[in-house]
Amino acid sequence: MKRRFVALLLALVMVLGLVGCTAGGGSTPETKAPEAAAEEYHFVIILKDLTRPFMINMGNDAVAAGKLVNCKVDVQAPQTPSSTEEQIKLIEDAIAAKVDGIIITPADSNAIIPGIEKANAAGIPVTTPNTKAFGGDVLNWAGIQNYDVGCALGELLAESLDYKGNVVLLEGIPGSSTSIDRINGYTDTLNKYPDINILTTQTANFTRAEGMSVMENLLQKYDNIDGIGSADKEMLLGANEAIKAANRTGIKGIGFDVEEDVLLAIKNGEVVATGDQHPESQAFWGVISLWAHLKGYSVPKECVIPMGVVNKDNVDEYLKRYEK
């Protein structure tokens, strides 16, 4: 069935390519552009928030994916960032609007289950790109394997420290599968090395402000921090601000996710490396999986996307994306 799904997507790409290639330079004034076809399906993507660049971009990517298959995609998020209660209310609103499919990145992988079950009862398919739900009937999940990511990031941190030193870990939103799995990966990997000591793991809720606040406290508590392993780049960049303000040097930092700010930090030597989880691909598969399902195709339960690593060796290639 996976082969059939891939074949469908290849056919889709070919059709889109043909459409894009039919516009030549010899059209006459009498030629009229074809009227846009009516949108076939209506989806909603419910994000954790619309305050972080990662989530904003993911919403934009979902809209773009919808256009590929002539589907409308509305982007929504709770007014209170990472509020599961508001996410469930948005699911209820989507059900009342009789949407054809729901895409959601759960703020809490357990607490979101009742909302998914309501969509199930209404017969509306649900996909969960980026963050897994721990229950309910979910069509599929698309993303990176977060435990493996945590292991890979932990290995990068260990290597940058020559496999010795004291580290702190910054975790994201409690209850989020992305944070749980990444921190478990970090911990299991770093614990393999007897000369590496994990001083503490602190929650900074995937935000830069909390990353800075948490790090300020940790710098006061510990005078021997050698490295930071962060579940995302926002918390790490906040921690870096606290480190600069305290005039501390020599602390190695590993983060996750790619935006221009962290790329510049890598280029300037302030961050060792960051992981790239390709959010545009996660959003794409969330939308396309719903579309294919509604077309009668079987879709894989998991669309695993490989992680990329950005460091000083390839950061210039990534920075080219932001050049005008």
Q: Are residues 247 and 285 in the same domain?
A: no
Residue 85 within a domain: yes
User: Do 99 and 198 lie in a common domain?
Assistant: no
CB distance 171 to 201 below 8 Å:
yes
Asked if 303 and 140 count as a contact pair (C-beta separation under 8 A), the reply is yes
Q: For residue 132, give its domain range.
A: 39-143+278-305
Is residue 84 situated within a structural domain? yes
pLDDT of residue 37: 62
Helix intervals (H) in 256-307: 260-267, 279-294
Is residue 31 one of the residues assigned to a domain? no
Same domain, 164 and 259: yes
Same-domain status, 251 and 290: no
Q: Are 228 and 236 in contact (CB under 8 A)?
A: yes
123 plus 220 within the same structural domain: no
Same domain, 271 and 296: no
The reply to whether 72 and 169 lie within a common domain is: no
The first and second tokens of residue 19, run together, are 């459409």
For residues 161 and 129, state if they share a domain.
no
Q: Is the pTM of this model over 0.85?
A: no
CATH number at residue 71: 3.40.50.2300
- Integer CA distances (angstroms), 119 to 46, 59, 101, 142, in order: 13, 20, 9, 19
Query: Would you say residue 115 lies in a domain?
Result: yes
Counting the structural domains of the chain, the total is 2
Largest CA distance in the chain: 77
Distance CA(44)–CA(101), nearest Å, equals 7
Per-residue pLDDT of the chain (324 residues; tens, 9 = 90+): 444 444 444 445 433 433 333 333 333 334 444 445 677 999 999 999 998 888 998 999 999 999 999 999 999 999 999 999 999 999 999 999 999 999 999 999 999 999 999 999 999 999 999 999 999 999 999 999 999 999 999 999 999 999 999 999 999 988 888 899 999 999 999 999 999 999 999 999 999 999 999 999 999 999 999 999 999 999 999 999 999 999 999 999 999 999 999 999 999 999 999 999 888 899 999 999 999 999 999 999 999 999 999 999 999 999 998 775
The answer to whether residues 253 and 292 belong to one domain is no
Q: Are residues 78 and 92 in the same domain?
A: yes
For residue 187, is it within any domain? yes
Where a domain ends, among 260, 276, 292?
276
Q: Are residues 76 and 161 in the same domain?
A: no
289 and 238, same structural domain?
no
Domain boundary among 234, 255, 276: 276
Q: Cβ(156)–Cβ(169) under 8 Å?
A: no
6 inside domain: no
Q: Is residue 28 part of a domain?
A: no
Note whether residue 157 is domain-resident. yes
